[in-house]
Amino acid sequence: MTDEIKPNVNEAPTHDAQLAAENIASGEEKAPKVDFEADYAAAQKLSVSEVDRTGKGAAAAEAATAPKQAVPKQVETKTEAQPTGKPEDYKEIAKEVGPSKGDAVTNVSDDLVEQALEKGQRKN
């Protein structure tokens, strides 16, 4: 299916395009015919390279994307906590897991919140 191009002189982005549009509008040049289906079919042929149509393409892609270093296999480990029933054990674990000194999280007391509210109040 071919479509006829009808150029608009006012929409031409460059001077050459404007001259071509004027020549087509005046009849000095013929408007080009565009066959979208043929262009699309040609583009489909060009979208896959000749190497990719053979087994060599897959081998080349594998070689190009292979990791440079050996990646170790993952090993699944299972850990189970033995129930002790002693609260002291849990306190020790909580201390170990507790926030580190580098964390930005701090404890905020009610007194600290009250002081912040007082400082934030507008003085008349």
Residue 124: the pLDDT is: 57
Residue among 43, 60, 42 nearest 51 (CA)? 60
pLDDT digits (tens, 9 = 90+) for 47-74: 887 777 777 888 888 888 888 888 888 8
Residue 55: give the domain boundaries.
2-64
Q: Is residue 42 part of a domain?
A: yes
Q: Is residue 6 part of a domain?
A: yes
Q: Is residue 105 part of a domain?
A: no
Q: Is residue 113 part of a domain?
A: no
State the greatest distance between any 2 C-alpha atoms of the chain, in Å, as a whole number.
Answer: 99
Q: Is residue 56 part of a domain?
A: yes
Residue among 77, 105, 81 nearest 93 (CA)? 81
39-70 b/e (C-beta count within 10 Å ≥ 16 → b): eeeeeeeeeeeeeeeeeeeeeeeeeeeeeeee
Residue 123: the pLDDT is: 64
Q: Give the global pTM.
A: 0.29
Q: Is residue 30 part of a domain?
A: yes
Q: Is residue 36 part of a domain?
A: yes
The count of structural domains within the chain is 1
Residue 54: the pLDDT is: 79
Q: Is residue 48 part of a domain?
A: yes
Per-residue pLDDT of the chain (124 residues; tens, 9 = 90+): 556 666 677 777 888 888 888 888 888 888 888 889 999 998 888 888 777 777 788 888 888 888 888 888 888 888 787 777 777 777 777 777 766 666 666 677 788 788 877 777 766 5
